[in-house]
Chain A
Amino acid sequence: MFDKENNEISNSIQINEMLVRGMITPVEALTLFIEIDSQKKSFNKKISEEENLEEVMKELDELVGLSKVKYLVKEIRAFTEIQKRRHEEKLLAEPQVLHMIFKGNPGTGKTTVARLLGKMFGHMRILQKGHTVEVERADLVGEYIGHTAQKTRDQIRRALGGILFVDEAYSLGRGGEKDFGKEAIDTLVKAMEDHKDNLIVILAGYKDEMDWFLQINPGLRSRFPIQIEFNDYSVKELMKIAKMMVEKRQYQFNPDALLLFETLLQNSKKDIFYDKLGNARLVRNMIEKALRRQALRLVKQKNISREDLLQICPEDISEVKVN
């Protein structure tokens, strides 16, 4: 009689032989094949998922600055790994609450990080899908009584298995007691509890406004155990970002242009509205404008060399204004 525990059957040839000899029935043979094939499949899946995770981690590492975020991700990754090992040893492995608050000025990488985190958690199997749904006040708050809860729930449903990223979240706290924003917050909090294993909510916004928002909604602070501040980039970091952006688009700054670009950024730092200018987004806009100006300059030129196509000159940048 066939006894599964006493026979270590590792390959299909053995199974076939046993079948031919009449030691096992076709049903038993199929059961063994299912075991072998599903093991093989899960092994392959694991390998490809690890590769994908490494790719996202690399992408995150390539982001300039953001040391706090990188550290947090390392922590979460290590924690997940250990929880998996604990699970294998049949020890208690509780999932963590990973709802977060991102505070920072525009262009400091909040959205970029949220998208990467989604992908990463998807590959780590913390989230089922790992997509990011980006919403703002208008997507959550309705126009009449009862409309808000419905609208918010719709967005939550879209985000299940991934991340719900609420941009400018503090605006939900504006408008006082009678504003529907409060209803949106209540619905969000309820969903965070109901779907705590399969949804991560990230609230994002300016630092001061978010601090005020948490103050007027004291219950929220404890529900978002992870709070990350995205500091403004220094000029040095912004230059690094600028060089990366230009290289990615297959252009080059000539030395004069580089100098000018840096001076412009330094001047913009003195601007009273600097925190609203958009950090990395400002750099991107400046570069995009410079590229358009370079194109305009070259179109007028008769002979265009490969070198010309690559180079960004000071005259392309000179008129880029911080506005």
Chain B
Amino acid sequence: MKRCTIIGKTNVGKTLFLINFAEYLGVKLFNIELINKDSKKILYKINSKNAISRLVNEQPHKTRCVQAIEVNIPVGKGKKKIRLIDTTGFIDGIHPEVEIRKAISQTLTIIRDSDIILHIIDASTVYHKDLPSSLGEVDYQIAQFAQLKRGYVILANKMDLLGAEKGFLKIKEEFSGNLILPVSALYKRGFKEVKIFVAHNI
């Protein structure tokens, strides 16, 4: 099964994108597989509303381990199952908590084995340098790393917010040569293009 990993800095909306994108693809009841830092798997079922309230938070580093779900992507006349993996957010510096550092290391291992990488950047905070989710050195490094892979796309998220349009243009300028799609994980906008991209690369 092909693996599609969602990565990006902390607080850019990776988990919300996972839940809403999965819902967009027709998932009603989420069978979430949690892989904790000791590589142990925990399975649990949850519906999308509860998933958002339980897993999504405005505080950075809400996601502290890898969580994955299986979804069907329509390809041609049939469907293909892929594994959608949500990861812990990156930061530019060294995080003081060892648990987060472990989770980041786990993320790095996972993206090296992924077939498709969805790199989320917060378009609304591109010009706010001091926020944890704003565009940083790690984003450039991710782009360079992921270019070695075939299926790499940058998702400029939070397009519904003020200033995101300007941020999107800046992202386009900074990461020219890469495919960049504007999305709003909250309002499920731009998901069609993401679906087409994923279907094309599996």
Contact = CB atoms under 8 A, between A and B. Distances in A.
B137 A27 contact: yes
Contacts of A15: 108
A19 B108 contact: yes
Given A25-B93, A31-B141, A12 B109 contact: yes
Nearest to A18: B105
A34 B145 contact: yes
A30 B108 contact: yes
Interface in B8-45: none
The SS class assigned to the B binding surface is: helix
B105 A33 contact: no
B98 interface: yes
A22 B101 contact: yes
Contact of B105 (A20, A27, A38): A20
Contacts of A38: 148
A297 interface: no
B145 A25 contact: no
A37 B145 contact: yes
B142 A30 contact: yes
A29 interface: yes
Nearest to A22: B94
Contacts of A21: 101
Give the most central of A12, A33, A41: most B CB within 10 Å: A33
Interface in B102-161: 102, 104-105, 108-109, 112, 137-138, 141-142, 144-145, 148
B141 A27 contact: yes
Contact of A16 (B92, B93, B105, B144): B105
A26 interface: yes
Name the interface size band of chain A.
Answer: 10 to 19
A239 B171 CA distance: 66
A31 B143 CA distance: 11
Nearest to B99: A20
Contact of A12 (B112, B142, B144): B112
B104 A19 contact: yes
25 contacts: A15-B108, A16-B105, A16-B108, A19-B105, A19-B108, A20-B102, A22-B94, A22-B98, A25-B91, A25-B93, A25-B138, A26-B91, A26-B92, A26-B108, A27-B141, A29-B105, A30-B141, A31-B141, A33-B112, A34-B145, A34-B148, A37-B112, A37-B145, A37-B148, A38-B148
A31 B138 CA distance: 10
Contacts of B90: 26
A38 B112 CA distance: 12
Contacts of B105: 16, 19-20, 29
Nearest to B98: A20
Interface in B71-109: 90-95, 98, 101-102, 104-105, 108-109
Given A25-B138, A38-B148, 15 more contacts: A12-B112, A15-B108, A20-B102, A20-B105, A22-B95, A24-B94, A25-B91, A25-B94, A26-B141, A30-B108, A30-B141, A30-B142, A30-B145, A34-B148, A37-B148
Interface of A: 12, 15-16, 19-22, 24-27, 29-31, 33-34, 37-38, 41
A201 B144 CA distance: 37
* Top 3 closest pairs, chain A to chain B, by CB: A30-B141, A16-B105, A19-B105
Give the most central of B102, B104, B108, B144: most A CB within 10 Å: B108
Interface string B165-189: 0000000000000000000000000
A39 to B, nearest CB: 11
A41 B112 CA distance: 13
Contacts of A22: 94-95, 98, 101
Nearest to A34: B145
A12 to B, nearest CB: 7
Contact of A33 (B94, B102, B145): B145
B102 to A, nearest CB: 5
Contacts of B109: 12, 16
A33 B138 CA distance: 13
Contacts of A34: 141, 144-145, 148
A20 B95 CA distance: 9
A207 B101 CA distance: 73
Contacts of A27: 92, 137-138, 141
A25 B96 CA distance: 11
Contacts of B95: 22
Given A26-B138, A27-B92, A19 B101 contact: yes
Nearest to B90: A26
Contact of B138 (A20, A30, A41): A30
A32 to B, nearest CB: 10
B10 to A, nearest CB: 11
A246 B141 CA distance: 58
A30 B119 CA distance: 14
Contacts of B93: 25
